[in-house]
A and B are shown apart, each in its own frame.
Chain A
Amino acid sequence: MVIRENFENNLNELKRKINEMGKLSIDALEKAYNALETQDVEIALKVIEEDTDVDNLENEINQFAIWLMAKEQPVARDLRVIIGVLKISSGIERIADFAVNIAKATIKIGKTNSLLQTTHLEQMKELSILMLQKALQSFSEEDIVLAKEVSELEDKVDQYNVETYKILTTYLSEHPEETNQLVQLLFVNRYLERTADHITNIAESAAYLIKGQIYDFNQ
């Protein structure tokens, strides 16, 4: 007989909702970048509008997790799953907010001669999405190797971030007429760097669930 089958199902349901939330934020990042690339304000507006779905899901997950803690008084691994879910949901919510910020930057840039190709922002976006997929998989499948890979990928994002900053500021000093677009791209550079930081925190939560130790991959 499986004891606490109901509780087990609830924990799986929480994990499923986290994955669902993760997929929504990956989708938001993809769309936001696509809007930036094609200077498509319609898509940008859609990203802003759809952020409510992520916020609602975060609320739902938090309420569910709090109720489970009160009802089941979880300990050990069960407790770590719930703590992980609470921290990860807040991380994913922030990531979706960065997608919204990128969408807003897109609207501010408007229609102009795009300088996006001179930067590493696309690589940063691609790496961030890969990191988020790995971090979520690490949590749901309890795979520590994936969590460690996430922290390695973050170093690459940081590297691209520094390079992009140099490229954009150098360009800015030579082409002050492009200030509006360049400042917005500098912001996007910053948003993507922060996105990768939050994803690394998600990987830390996964590592905490798996190993029961607190990790700091950001160092």
Chain B
Amino acid sequence: MSTAVMDRSEIEVNQNLAGEVLSQMKQTKEAKASKINVKDLNLFYGEKQALFGVSLDILENEVTALIGPSGCGKSTFLRTLNRMNDLIDGVKITGDIVIDHENIYKTNDVIKLRTKVGMVFQKPNLFPMTIYDNVAYGPRMQGIKNKNELNKIVEESLRGAAIWDEVKDRLKTSALGLSGGQQQRVCIARAIAMKPDVILMDEPTSALDPISTLKVEELIANMKEDYTIVIVTHNMQQAARISDKTAFFLNGEVVEYDDTDNIFSTPKDQRTEDYVTGRFG
């Protein structure tokens, strides 16, 4: 009997410890402030409605992943966060998106918004210029002319994007000579150079090989200390690896939005379960 009793008490102790750790983790999560608050967002491309009553609270210094099948509205949603959809004719938006207490659809200063909310796209889209000029482009447009200051921004940004060591000796060569994975990290550096608060990423690794993908993932995980990151990804394991929260989109609606570990271990909605286990369709 004594061994049995010992087994059980050991289990109890372990469970109590696990419980404490979990509740501490929860408390840390709860302590984070809301960065982007989206309320009842509807978006129409002409007659066709693409987003239906989306409400999400995106927390500061977290990575939030948006997942869902093609055409579910996740990229459309991502682009509403820095008003990229304004560039498309016939787009109508209702609802509210508040970033740092400011309704971004009630401001006229879109430039300021896009400085604050940077974006990285699916395919590296560097300008046909040197690596240095690519990263310095934004700050120069903002009027920074001082060479020392620009040097500092370029170095800090490239370091922040974990690419400095690979390019520091070739800053004055064409950025297009870099590999796909390096180009994508320079794109991230270019976004960082604008000192944004939020970085939006639209499938940033889908054009990269597995090793480059892992480097970018590692970078994203480290970047959340300084930035709030929202990422669209088709790679569910990637969402599971790098994000704190995951939103599952389907037909323009958010089916489920929860801590990433819940979405991938015990999703509440059957449609989420079917999607994350690859049985969708």
Residues on A lying within 8 angstroms of B by beta carbon are: 1-4, 7, 73-80, 161, 165, 190, 193-194, 197, 212-213, 216, 218-219
Contact = CB atoms under 8 A, between A and B. Distances in A.
A1 to B, nearest CB: 7
Given A75-B276, A193-B4, A212 B281 contact: no
Q: Which DSSP category, helix, strand, loop or mixed, fits chain B's interface?
A: helix
A216 B11 contact: yes
B273 A77 contact: yes
B240 A75 contact: yes
Contact of A76 (B7, B266, B280, B281): B266
B275 to A, nearest CB: 10
B222 interface: no
B148 interface: no
B208 to A, nearest CB: 19
B197 to A, nearest CB: 31
B48 interface: no
Given A75-B276, A216-B11, A1 B281 contact: yes
Given A212-B266, A216-B15, A194 B278 contact: no
Given A75-B240, A75-B265, A216-B11, A194 B276 contact: no
A219 B12 CA distance: 9
B194 to A, nearest CB: 36
Nearest to B267: A76
B108 interface: no
Interface string B1-41: 10010011001100100000000000000000000000000
B4 A74 contact: no
Top 5 A-B pairs ranked by shortest CB distance?
A212-B266, A75-B264, A78-B277, A4-B278, A75-B276
22 contacts: A2-B279, A3-B278, A3-B279, A3-B281, A74-B277, A75-B264, A75-B265, A75-B276, A75-B277, A76-B265, A76-B266, A76-B267, A77-B273, A161-B1, A194-B4, A197-B4, A197-B7, A212-B265, A212-B266, A216-B15, A218-B11, A219-B12
Nearest to A214: B15
B79 to A, nearest CB: 28
Contact of B277 (A76, A194, A213): A76
Contacts of B4: 193-194, 197
Contacts of A78: 277
Given A197-B4, A218-B8, A218-B11, A77 B281 contact: no
Contacts of A190: 1
A73 B8 contact: no
Contacts of B237: 73
B54 interface: no
A76 B279 CA distance: 12
Contacts of B280: 3
Given A75-B265, A76-B273, A219-B8, 18 more contacts: A2-B279, A3-B281, A4-B278, A4-B279, A74-B277, A75-B276, A76-B265, A76-B267, A76-B277, A77-B273, A80-B265, A161-B1, A190-B1, A193-B4, A197-B4, A212-B266, A213-B266, A219-B12
Nearest to A162: B1
Contacts of B98: none
A87 to B, nearest CB: 14
